[in-house]
Amino acid sequence: MKNILIIRRDNIGDLVCTTPLIEGVKIAYPEAKVYLLINKVSQDVVKNNPNIEKVFVYKKAKHKAKNETTLGVYFERLMIFLQLRKIKFDAAILANPVPCKYSLRLAKMAGAKHIIGADLGKPEITHAFRKEDFHGKHQVEYAFSYLSAITDKTIPIPPVRVYLSEDERQAAAQRLNVLLPESSHIYAVHFSNRREKSTWPLERYAEIIRRLTADPQTSVLIFWSPQGALAPDDIGDQKRAELLLKQCQNGRVALYPTTSVRELLAAFDLCDLVLCSDGGQMHLAAALNKNQVVFFGETSQEEWHPWSGKYQILQAESGDCSDIPIEEVWHSIEGMK
């Protein structure tokens, strides 16, 4: 195979869980060119990925900027597909492990003839995966199962990975030096989550931060979802971040605003441990092989736990993170030190 297209139109965590498949395709076909078709929200996940020849990014109409028109978004998408059709793909993999008619539509628009994906009952998917064709129980394993459609080689599943540049690392280190000079141990607290049941109360985060900073060698960086992270009209969590900082009352606690996934990754890379809830931020930390303590709401641990790095998952029987007591969180953090 010379040209292979992988399509993943989901969010940040989904694309992180697809990076082992991308690497696996390149291992199976070292000389092949691997292309990726993804949406704009998740594009930072695969920046600098050496296994990818080119990333094609399309924008969903609901993610258009205030100065953009829906017609303009669709025109940009048309230009992308004209480029894709010139490549002449040997195979297209719909990397979502559940049937997705929209991904199939994108593959057909890209001109792919051999399409691999979850069974939609349509003949256009030339290698359809039924439920029993997927291996394992985790999203990474499900996505990686598609590799068996193009190779008979037995390839171990790689870790999830992201690739930071030296410039990105240096920029983050310089910011940290301004915010928290002379800190020996840095902990990250990312409190945002769009699902209410996956959200832990802000005042409890404050108590954990107070306990962490009782050690004079420990500092804490506070992270949150910025404005526009989920959609152009998303207001973000900055006000709640400022409230959390006020509750902490400590010079070794600092806000770390980020405007991109790349900035968040570079900052996480400086931290010894990440405390967060299930979602994109958890998968990004896993892709950096970070130690984590993670709140799970109703999310399945079996399907969505961090694929890489050490972790402790906290989940109440009720599925509501507000039912998780402070002492249980503190015990998990202590156990990860």
- In this predicted structure, the answer to whether residue 155 has a pLDDT above a threshold of 80 is yes
pLDDT for position 337? 82
pLDDT of residue 222: 98
Q: Which residue has the tokens 């029987």?
A: 317
pLDDT given for residue 163 in this prediction? 98
pLDDT at 233 over 60: no
Please give the DSSP secondary-structure letter assigned to residue 66.
T
The least confident of 62-66, 201-205, 259-263, 320-324 is: 62-66
pLDDT for residue 69: 78
Dihedral over alpha carbons 245, 246, 248, 254 (to 10 degrees):
30
Q: What is the mean pLDDT of residues 226-248?
A: 77
Structure-model confidence comparison of residues 21 and 195, the more confident one: 21
In what helix (H) or strand (E) does residue 5 lie, and over which residues does it extend? strand 3-8
Other beta carbons within 10 angstroms of residue 209's beta carbon come to 25
Q: Mean pLDDT score of the chain, rounded to an integer?
A: 93
Q: CA-to-CA distance for 281 and 199, rounded, in angstroms? A: 13
Give the model's confidence band at 58: pLDDT under 50 very low, under 70 low, under 90 confident, else very high: confident
The predicted pLDDT at position 62 comes to 64
Nearest to 18 by CA among 161, 118, 163, 230: 161
Kindly tell me if the per-residue pLDDT of 248 is higher than 90.
yes
Give me the mean pLDDT over the 88-113 stretch.
Answer: 95
Helix (H, G, I), strand (E, B) or coil at 329: helix
Q: Give pLDDT, residue 71.
A: 78
Domains of the chain with bracketed CATH? 3-149 (3.40.50.2000), 166-336 (3.40.50.2000)
Q: Is 56 helix (H, G, I), strand (E, B) or coil?
A: strand
In this predicted structure, the answer to whether residue 61 has a pLDDT above a threshold of 80 is no
Q: Give yes or no for a contact between 189 and 220, defined as CB atoms under 8 angstroms apart.
A: yes
Instruction: Give the mean model confidence (pLDDT) for residues 300-323.
Output: 96
For residue 232, pLDDT beyond 60: no
Query: Can you tell me which residue has the tokens 């996480």?
Result: 268
pTM for this prediction: 0.93
